[in-house]
Amino acid sequence: MLNFSLCSFYILNLSFLCLPMPTILAIESSCDDTSAAICKDGKILANIISSQKVHEAWGGVVPELASRAHMKNIIVTVDMAMREAGISNDELDAIAFTRGPGLIGSLLVGVSFAKGLGMALDLPLIEVNHMQAHVMANFINYTPSYPHICLTVSGGHTQIIVVKGPLDMDLIGETLDDAAGEAFDKSAKLLGLPYPGGPMIDKFAQSGNPLRFKFSEPQIKGYDYSFSGLKTSILYFIQAQTRLNPDFVKENLNDLCASIQKTIIDILLKKLTLAIRENQINEIVLAGGVSANSELRMRFEELGKANNWKTHIPDFEYCTDNAAMIAIVGHYKYLNKDFCSYEVEPIAKYHL
């Protein structure tokens, strides 16, 4: 009996040693950033992001230009990631890629590249939902407790998600119209600031008074959000003030940015607080491009401290679009042997 249990003890330990610890190449091309990352044994070795400057002149992302720029950038971006990680082709175990949601032409470049390279190297493919990847960015260099709540705030989405484990998540609230990132970008456009406006509002808000101007907040039930009304109220306010003083925006830029930013963050954190209280969860994490916002990061931490909730925010490079977050999903999916067919196609509206 003793021998048997000793034997099974050793087998268990040996089987742990045999668990696959894969090396994954990940590709992200859902919008206007071409990114490639390498993840080995769950650790990110490289995360290269090539941003596309071509859209700035147009005040927003131009889909056709984005696809062309992805085609131009993808080989060099992947090559840089492989070199930085010190990984050769024959060390790769799988290729993970963003399947959606995103711009269909941009997604197509990443999906086709993953298929081509995968076929040449005879590797399995792992398809990744971009929104799930934003949530999983919190699993890079951090181990959250379960369940926790993730507030994902990006350029295209605003979501409140209950995370029950890696890859196991329930969407409980989302925006009914504009995303938080869009609210930043569209407000910035109304103020005459260049695209992307979120970081510009963040910058000017630092020297402004957030209590100077008041904008109305939406009255939406439950955990859902709405930001389109805010944009309209800012538009009407600026139009009215500019009729009285053509230099109104220029003279009040810092206070306008600080007040708009405060309103967006108030809306975001109110619903998050409601969700965490009603679900009796005591850990919150942030995700998505808007989580790079300095005021949101500060108020998120303060909210956690005031309520004794654990908080985590990913490093800056993992907040905005990046392939490291695709790679970490790829890692967990590889452990589940969750591979996809080579017939896989991109999906522009890929729900969580």
CB 223 within 8 A of CB 172: yes
CB 149 within 8 A of CB 281: yes
Q: Which of these, 158, 318, 281, 152, lies nearest to 230 by C-alpha position?
A: 158
Residue 29 interacts with Zn ion (CB under 5 A)?
no
Q: Which of these, 268, 256, 266, lies nearest to 209 by C-alpha position?
A: 256
Residues that bind ligand KG4 (rule: CB under 6 A) add up to a total of 19
CB-neighbour burial class of residue 338 (10 A; exposed 0-12, middle 13-18, buried 19+): middle
Task: Sheet with 94-100: list strands edge to edge.
Answer: 43-51, 33-40, 23-28, 94-100, 125-129
- Binding part of the chain for Zn ion, among 117-125, 139-147, 252-260, 314-322 by CB under 5 A, reads 314-322
Of 44 and 92, nearer to Zn ion (C-beta) is 44
CB-neighbour burial class of residue 312 (10 A; exposed 0-12, middle 13-18, buried 19+): buried
Q: Please list every residue from 6 through 35 that binds ligand KG4, using CB under 6 A.
A: 31
CB of 23 to ligand KG4, least distance (A): 26
Strands (E), 262-308: 283-287
Per-residue binder mask for ligand KG4 (CB under 6 A), 156-185, x = binder: x------------------------x--xx
Q: What angle do CA 92, 96, 79 make, to 5 degrees?
A: 55
CB of 34 to ligand KG4, least distance (A): 13
Of 174 and 185, nearer to ligand KG4 (C-beta) is 185
- The binder of ligand KG4 chosen from 105, 144, 173, 199 (CB under 6 A): 199
Residue 32 interacts with Zn ion (CB under 5 A)?
no
Per-residue binder mask for Zn ion (CB under 5 A), 157-196, x = binder: ----------------------------------------
Question: What are the residues binding ligand KG4 (CB under 6 A)?
Answer: 31, 154-156, 181, 184-185, 196-199, 202, 288-290, 292-293, 320-321
